[in-house]
Amino acid sequence: MDVSVSMTVNGVEHSHAVEPRTLLVHYLRDTLGLTGTNIGCDTSQCGACTVHIDGDAAKSCTVLAVQADGCAVTTIEGIGNGSLHPMQQAFWDEHGLQCGYCTPGMIMASIDLLNRNADPSRAEIRHGLEGNICRCTGYQNIVNAVASAAKEMAGADA
Ligand code: FES
Ligand code: FES
């Protein structure tokens, strides 16, 4: 029997009837058509599905849609306000991606990282992103991108 879920996604209210077993990532991709959130594994390891739930990063393959009932969810589509978010710009500038499959999750996790620690060391960046796997870049340019975004965002706050 379907159950009703309501949540705000990228500032827009949504209500749907879903199967109780529906994962949040499937709700976002299949019901709302927000396919920027990727699925890269079936073991909760890769982080490609990372979104923000009430401001905190979460792997949306580990959350049932019904568990996000009443929450505010942000996906990669919701961070830019019509232009690139500073974190997206930093990934672009620092070549922090190759195939791009991990990138939406990396960016959502990186924004959360800076929300919790605005001036992380490179070791703290690596530790903060250890739940996100990249098969292409070797991580160096991802760390460069997050460090660059931290500087840029600190300047914007000043
Ligand atoms: S799809 Fe890999 S952690 Fe969610
Ligand atoms: S850029 Fe290809 S998996 Fe990260």
Q: What is the pLDDT of residues 98-131, one digit of tens each?
A: 999 999 999 999 999 999 999 999 999 999 999 9
Strands 3-9 and 72-74: parallel
Residues 105 and 54: their CA atoms lie apart, in Å, by: 16
Predicted local confidence at residue 81, as pLDDT: 84
User: What dihedral angle (degrees, nearest 10) is formed by the CA atoms of 114, 119, 122, 124?
Assistant: -60
For residue 30, is pLDDT > 70? yes
Q: What is the pLDDT of residues 55-105, one digit of tens each?
A: 999 999 999 999 999 999 999 999 998 899 999 999 999 999 999 999 999
* Domain range for 52: 3-77
Helical H segments across the chain, by residue range = 24-26, 86-93, 103-116, 122-128, 140-157
Is the same domain home to 53 and 105?
Answer: no
Identify the residue whose C-alpha is closest to ligand 1 atom 1: 39
The enclosing domain of 48 has a CATH number of: 3.10.20.30
Q: What percent of the chain has pLDDT over 70?
A: 99
Q: Which of 6, 137, 105, 111 lies closest to 56 in space, CA to CA?
A: 111
Count of structural domains, the chain: 2
Tokens representing 104 are 């939406």
Residues 149 and 86: their CA atoms lie apart, in Å, by: 6
Predicted local confidence at residue 131, as pLDDT: 97
Predicted local confidence at residue 132, as pLDDT: 98
Task: Spell out which residues line ligand 1, taking CB within 6 angstroms.
Answer: 39-41, 44-49, 59, 61
